[in-house]
């Protein structure tokens, strides 16, 4: 993990060995003829072997941003724009459709929340796995596929012998999630693994196994990962750095310890406050008032202003805050008018 | 496949419809070899009622109706199969391409073209196509294209939207499934998505549609030939036989009308039944719920479905499909 007090470029973290860099990412859906800016001014930077958490409420644009990074949005109704989208020195925006396809699953893969539905029910596991090897492992001949699949499955703790002819429904959810990880990591050039709520649908014991598996992959293959989750305990356990999203925008980026110890953005502060602590005094649990704003209507000022406990007055309602460096180290930033004011942001 | 056959033969009704379908296929394949007379051989007696010599009697010029029926069945049934085969391949591909590009220009162009075809009544469009193209002698390489092939092609064209629309709808639903996203996230090619992932998962409704399409194609062929715009005399098909029979019905020559009519009715019945049963059996989601006590409720559902849609050969299947698969 990188700790670089002043090495960051403006507007984002700059880890020492950067493998993925996203700047100014905007994703706009068309919904009933109206544009819905689901992700705005998204920024992210991931270093080699670093695990970055992407947290936020449902509908805050986490998954949308992740899909945009991998180029999975299609259709006339979704518009993706970015100022910078660079994977290991390669500008992803300049790629042809065919080149972009090779990147997917080759250098950057994604694992999904629902392993059961992520497999084609009509084909055996072995047949689906072989297709992926055919796409991304030119070093292997067809006769070597099955041995390699067994090896890759063994890597994720599944004994694949005799199971390649089984259909997805013959496996448990935890097994399928691990098979999906094995498939996603089949390429030798893999640099970044995107995990979209990859452990949300698993029970706690299986979740722990999968998280351990991801951690081991990071250790052994120096993979960078982006974990999208709304489970802050997963973040605390797994991540080096955290990006907090709210209503389609990045509101705070910080080292995982700083984020939990010294959250700078009021949203992060209120989010952490909403975690129930045990034992607690028996009083009411803290709940953030209000709801996520509708994105199909224009928002003036700070998106979080209507729910903010530390509202500053008219500036919050009229001027959208920029991401600014905070008191935290490692190039931490937050988008709040409180940052850098004469009265420093205090910890609640 | 074997499993499907076993399940289809388990129930009496499906066994009957399967046997019926097999009968018609056999009739088309080997029927003419059993014809006692030539199709156009003139006998000594005109308008003779059925007898040991002429099982289905003779027609106005003394031709053996049984022989003509066997030859005509081959034409009618073959035209149906060729038309549906053509429509299924072309329609499924077009529909899938449209469904994958849903909302984009390619989709609009394909589907508006389908709408153009659909906007004409079947019985108008088929004669127009055969009439316009059929004026000249057509050759496909060295092989001359007969009027039968032309009718088959015309019906095929007219049935394309039936398959295209169902395919597009299924593809659009499947495209939202996680496994398609997963395939794309792993760098799957367009053809991986189209043929490996989408096709097997939308095949079932297409097969069902084919069974209904067969019934429809045979009806249309008969109607067009009856009007004298399809298969031309002296060639025989169920439709032309009925057309020949028309003038003699008043003189009590019932045998000219009954056999082709019954054949058409039975064919339509058998393939509509088969379509219904296939729809129930091929529903991929029903397969998993059939385990345990799901069986009984699935059976009930089947009976009700059969009652509702027997005898319908139109596109409504698509909507009932959608409702029952979810």
Distance from chain centroid for Cα A119: 21
Q: Find which of B176, B187, B288 to mutate to test the A interface (most A CBs within 10 Å of its CB).
A: B187
User: For each of chain B's 326 residues, which pLDDT tens digit applies?
Assistant: 677 777 767 777 778 888 888 888 888 888 777 777 777 677 677 767 777 677 777 777 777 778 888 888 888 888 889 999 999 999 999 999 888 887 788 888 999 999 998 888 888 888 888 777 766 666 666 666 677 788 888 888 889 999 999 999 998 888 888 888 888 888 888 888 888 888 888 888 888 888 888 888 888 888 888 887 777 776 788 888 888 877 777 777 777 788 888 888 888 898 888 888 888 777 655 544 443 433 333 333 333 343 333 333 343 333 333 333 33
Residue pair A346/A263 in contact (Cβ under 8 Å)? The answer is no
* Secondary structure of B60-103 as H, E, C letters: CCCCEHHHHHHHHHHHHHHHHHHHHHHHHHHHHHHHHHHHHCCC
Query: How many CB atoms within 10 Å of residue B290?
Result: 16
Interface touch B187/A101, C-beta < 8 Å: yes
How far apart (Å, rounded) are the C-alpha atoms in residues A262 and A326?
A: 10
In chain A, the residue whose alpha carbon lies closest to the alpha carbon of B174 is A120
Q: What is the pLDDT of residue A280?
A: 67
How far apart (Å, rounded) are the C-alpha atoms in residues A105 and A122?
A: 21
For residue A136, list chain B residues with Cβ-Cβ distance below 8 A: 186-187
Interface touch A120/B179, C-beta < 8 Å: yes
For residue B201, list chain A residues with Cβ-Cβ distance below 8 A: 120-122
What stretches of chain A adopt beta strand conformation (E)?
A: 18-31, 34-47, 51-55, 78-81, 84-87, 90-91, 108-111, 192-196, 224-229, 241-246, 249-255, 323-325, 333-335
- Nearest CA to A198 out of A227, A220, A155 is that of A227
- pTM value surpassing 0.90: no
Contacts of A135 (CB under 8 A, 6+ apart): A105, A106, B186, B187, B188, B189, B192
How far apart (Å, rounded) are the C-alpha atoms in residues A226 and A335?
A: 21
In chain A, the residue whose alpha carbon lies closest to the alpha carbon of B189 is A101
Distance from chain centroid for Cα A69: 10
Q: Give B211's DSSP letter.
A: H
Interface touch B185/A101, C-beta < 8 Å: no
Q: How far is CA A108 from CA A188, B1, B173, in A?
A: 11, 39, 27
- Rounded to two decimals, the ipTM of the complex is 0.80
Q: Find which of B3, B98, B171, B179 to mutate to test the A interface (most A CBs within 10 Å of its CB).
A: B179
Measured at the CA of A107, the angle between CA A102 and CA A111, to 5 degrees, comes to 100
Interface touch A114/B178, C-beta < 8 Å: yes
Interface touch B185/A183, C-beta < 8 Å: no
Interface touch A183/B186, C-beta < 8 Å: yes
């Amino acid at each position: 993990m990188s700790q670089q007090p002043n090495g960051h470029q403006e507007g984002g973290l700059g880890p020492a060995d950067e493998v993925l860099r996203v700047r100014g990412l905007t994703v706009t859906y068309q919904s009933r003829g109206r544009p819905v800016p689901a992700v705005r001014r998204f920024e992210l930077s991931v270093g080699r072997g670093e695990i970055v958490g992407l947290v936020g409420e449902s509908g805050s644009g986490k998954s949308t941003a992740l899909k945009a990074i991998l180029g999975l949005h299609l259709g006339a109704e979704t518009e993706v724009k970015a100022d910078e989208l660079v994977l290991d020195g390669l500008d992803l925006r300049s790629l042809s459709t065919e080149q972009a396809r090779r990147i997917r699953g080759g250098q950057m893969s994604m694992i999904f929340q629902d392993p059961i539905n992520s497999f084609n029910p009509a084909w055996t596991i072995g047949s689906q796995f072989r297709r992926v090897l055919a796409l991304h492992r030119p070093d292997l001949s067809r006769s070597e596929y099955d041995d390699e699949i067994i090896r890759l499955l063994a890597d994720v703790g599944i004994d694949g012998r005799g199971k390649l002819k089984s259909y997805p429904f013959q496996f448990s959810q935890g097994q399928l999630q691990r098979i999906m990880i094995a498939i996603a990591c089949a390429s030798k050039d893999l640099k970044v693994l995107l995990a979209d709520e990859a452990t949300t649908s698993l029970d706690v014991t299986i979740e722990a196994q999968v998280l351990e598996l991801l951690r081991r992959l990071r250790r052994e293959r120096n993979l960078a990962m982006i974990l999208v989750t709304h489970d802050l305990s997963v973040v605390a356990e797994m991540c080096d750095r955290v990006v907090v999203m709210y209503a389609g925008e990045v509101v705070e980026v910080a080292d995982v310890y700083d984020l939990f110890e010294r959250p700078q953005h009021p949203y992060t502060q209120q989010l952490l406050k909403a975690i129930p602590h045990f034992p607690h005094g028996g009083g009411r649990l803290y709940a953030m008032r209000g709801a996520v704003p509708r994105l199909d209507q224009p928002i003036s000022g700070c998106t979080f202003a209507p729910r903010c406990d530390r509202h500053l007055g008219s500036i919050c309602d009229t001027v959208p805050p920029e991401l600014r460096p905070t008191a935290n180290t490692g190039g931490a930033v937050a988008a709040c008018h409180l940052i850098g004011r004469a009265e420093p942001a205090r910890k609640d | 496949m074997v499993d499907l056959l076993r399940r289809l033969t388990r129930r009496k009704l499906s066994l009957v419809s399967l046997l019926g379908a097999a009968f018609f296929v056999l009739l088309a394949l080997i029927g003419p070899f059993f014809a006692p007379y030539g199709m156009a051989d003139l006998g000594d007696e005109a308008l003779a009622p059925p007898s040991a010599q002429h099982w289905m009697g003779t027609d106005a010029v003394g031709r053996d109706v049984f022989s003509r029926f066997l030859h005509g069945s081959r034409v009618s049934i073959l035209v149906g199969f060729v038309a549906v085969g053509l429509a299924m391949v072309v329609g499924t591909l077009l529909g899938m391409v449209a469904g994958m590009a849903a909302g984009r220009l390619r989709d609009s162009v394909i589907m508006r073209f389908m709408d153009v075809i659909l906007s004409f009544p079947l019985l108008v469009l088929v004669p127009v196509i055969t009439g316009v193209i059929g004026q000249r002698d057509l050759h496909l390489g060295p092989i001359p294209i007969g009027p039968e092939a032309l009718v088959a092609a015309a019906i095929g064209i007219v049935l394309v939207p039936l398959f295209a629309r169902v395919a597009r709808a299924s593809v659009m639903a499947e495209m939202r499934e996680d496994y398609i996203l997963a395939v794309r996230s792993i760098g799957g090619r367009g053809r991986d998505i189209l043929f490996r992932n989408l096709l097997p998962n939308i095949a079932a409704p297409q097969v069902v549609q084919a069974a209904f399409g067969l019934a429809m194609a045979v009806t249309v062929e008969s109607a067009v030939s009856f009007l004298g715009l399809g298969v031309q005399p002296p060639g025989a098909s169920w439709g032309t036989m009925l057309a020949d029979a028309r003038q003699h019905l008043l003189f009590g020559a019932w045998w000219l009308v009954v056999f082709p009519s019954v054949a058409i009715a039975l064919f339509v019945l058998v393939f509509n039944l088969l379509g219904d049963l296939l729809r129930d059996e091929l529903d991929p989601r029903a397969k998993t719920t059939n385990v345990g006590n799901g069986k009984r409720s699935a059976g009930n559902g089947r009976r009700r479905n059969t009652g509702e849609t027997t005898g319908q050969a139109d596109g409504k299947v698509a909507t009932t499909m959608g409702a029952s698969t979810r």
